Structure 1
Amino acid sequence: MKSEVNSGLTFRKAEKEDVGLVLYFIKELASYEKMLDQVVATEAGLTEWLFEKKTAEVIFAELNGVEIGFALFFHNFSTFLGQAGLYLEDLYVLPNYRGHGYGKAILTQLAKIAVKRGCGRLEWWCLDWNQPSIDFYLSLGAKAMDEWTVYRITGDTLLELAAS
């Protein structure tokens, strides 16, 4: 899946041999979000879940053959719409390439994938303090889902609930 977007920017789907690069982008994003200490992902785990079990997908934005950004996404499902959606887990553009429309190009590419697959929506979360990203998303016409609160169960709590 290689497609030309503008002046040297192309997209390609990550392959198994890209797992180190995927982890690199995950760590870069986590560092930007001041959450690097929370990254426990490994190349082996990413290989299993992304390329063997195929539970998520990754695309890279390449500028003249150099990876400058990535997006990790997967399908979810809306019972109200009665159709799948595309959930964007992570989007990251390297700092030197920000402000040139590459983030918008990545989201545009994801929108194209969603439409091609018949998805009813494209959605993601954004940290409350990340005002540059919030402003960017709003400029694209995205709507904040302020009436929803995210809940999460992980680690020992997840294990305890599963065992109950």
Structure 2
Amino acid sequence: MNDKINNNFSVRFASLNDIPTILKFIKELAAYEKLENEVTATEDILREWIFEKNKCEVLIALENNTEIGYALFFHNFSTFLGKAGIYLEDLYITPNYRGLGYGKKLLKEVAKIAVERGCERLDWQCLDWNKSSIDFYLSLKAKEMKGWISYRLSHESLKEFACR
């Protein structure tokens, strides 16, 4: 990976005005992950959950004041450590800006936030077929969480289980 980052690269927290851009990036990421049919988010839903209910935070990556990617994250909690961590839900850089070190820089900003807030962990998931991302994460000395399997209740199965 080329770590030469343009001097005009910057990162800032998202604002309400960024909602259309965030949704655009979510859809682009979903298409890359071959999951576009699972996106049901709308601008109104993002406004409510990100900015009104404050359930997550978003960083916007820019080059020359043009939005080129985002990171969406929220706090989780480790009972073993007795401390909060940060869970990175999305890390995305648009295709034309990949391979320039921007993803690493954006991830580093999330890591700095975690350290500043006293968090002991930064967690995320990666699709098992995404070799370039896996190689990138391993190059950072991130550890694969072997022995852990992700589970999910969602949509109707979540509602059905909650009502039993």
TM-score range, shorter chain: over 0.9
Find the counterpart in structure 2 of residue 146 from structure 1.
146
Q: What one-letter code is carried by the residue in structure 2 that aligns with 1:141?
A: K
Find the counterpart in structure 2 of residue 74 from structure 1.
74
Q: What one-letter code is carried by the residue in structure 2 that aligns with 1:74?
A: F
TM-score, normalised via structure 1 length: 0.95
Q: What one-letter code is carried by the residue in structure 1 that aligns with 2:105?
A: A
Could you tell me how far apart the structure 2 residues matched to 1:102 and 1:58 are?
16
1:122-137 mapped onto 2 (5 Å cutoff)? 122-137=122-137
Q: What one-letter code is carried by the residue in structure 2 that aligns with 1:73?
A: F
RMSD over equivalenced CA pairs, Å:
1.0
1:84-163 mapped onto 2 (5 Å cutoff)? 84-163=84-163
- The structural deviation recorded for 1:64 is 1.1
Specify the SS of the correspondent of 1:126: coil
Find the counterpart in structure 1 of residue 53 from structure 2.
53
Could you tell me how far apart the structure 1 residues matched to 2:70 and 2:155 are?
27
Q: What one-letter code is carried by the residue in structure 2 that aligns with 1:44?
A: D
Count of aligned positions: 160
Q: What are structure 1's unaligned runs of at least 5 residues?
A: none
Could you tell me how far apart the structure 1 residues matched to 2:25 and 2:148 are?
28
Could you tell me how far apart the structure 1 residues matched to 2:105 and 2:152 are?
30
After superposition, the C-alpha distances for 1:28-83 in whole angstroms (9 at most, x for unaligned) are 10010011111010111000000000000100111110111100000000001110
- The structural deviation recorded for 1:156 is 1.2
Find the counterpart in structure 2 of residue 26 from structure 1.
26
Higher relative contact order (CA 8 A, sep 6+): 2
Could you tell me how far apart the structure 2 residues matched to 1:107 and 1:80 are?
25
1:10-25 mapped onto 2 (5 Å cutoff)? 10-25=10-25
Find the counterpart in structure 1 of residue 42 from structure 2.
42
- The structure 1 segments of at least 4 consecutive aligned residues displaced by more than 3 Å after TM superposition are none
